[in-house]
Amino acid sequence: MNMPSILKGESLTRLMQGAAGGAVIAMILGFGWGGWQLGSTAEKMAAQRANTAVVAALAPICVDKFQHGADAPAELVALKKTESWRQDSFVKKGGWATFPGSEPNGDVAEACAKILSGEK
């Protein structure tokens, strides 16, 4: 059986070069502008969205725990006197960002402190 001329000699070389070049261009376009992602990137994005959802759900609970504490008005004054970059530590130490079965959540404490201090 005779092979077509495109699959012989110089033509075969050009065909393989074209296929390789086309594959590279398809990958560049797909990952650059087509929205393709690696699995690890998708997992990171999913983890970030899950953490954002957890913070959004737990921060109001933290605020409620703070406001229903025994000495809430005095604690609020103390929180507002604390430097803004240390307010999350204040909330963590107070135990308002600690939920049953878990360690204090720093992101929840930060969101809680921002809500309590009137920041956005």
Q: Same domain for 91 and 55?
A: yes
Q: Same domain for 11 and 62?
A: no
Q: Same domain for 14 and 44?
A: no
pTM: 0.69
Tell me which long-range contacts 54-57 makes (C-beta under 8 A, separation of at least 24): 54/105, 54/107, 54/108, 55/105, 55/107, 55/108, 55/111, 56/111
Distance between CA atoms of 113 and 36, rounded to whole angstroms?
38
For the record, the structure tokens of 112 come out as: 């809680």
Q: Same domain for 7 and 21?
A: yes
Q: Same domain for 42 and 29?
A: no
Confidence (pLDDT) at 50: 97
- Residues in the chain with pLDDT values less than 70: 1, 5-9, 120
Q: Same domain for 1 and 58?
A: no
Q: Same domain for 18 and 55?
A: no
**To which residue do tokens 């921060």 refer?**
59
Please tell me the total count of domains within the chain: 2
Q: Are 55 and 108 in contact (CB under 8 A)?
A: yes
Domain span at residue 16 reads 1-36
Confidence (pLDDT) at 32: 87
Q: Same domain for 49 and 90?
A: yes
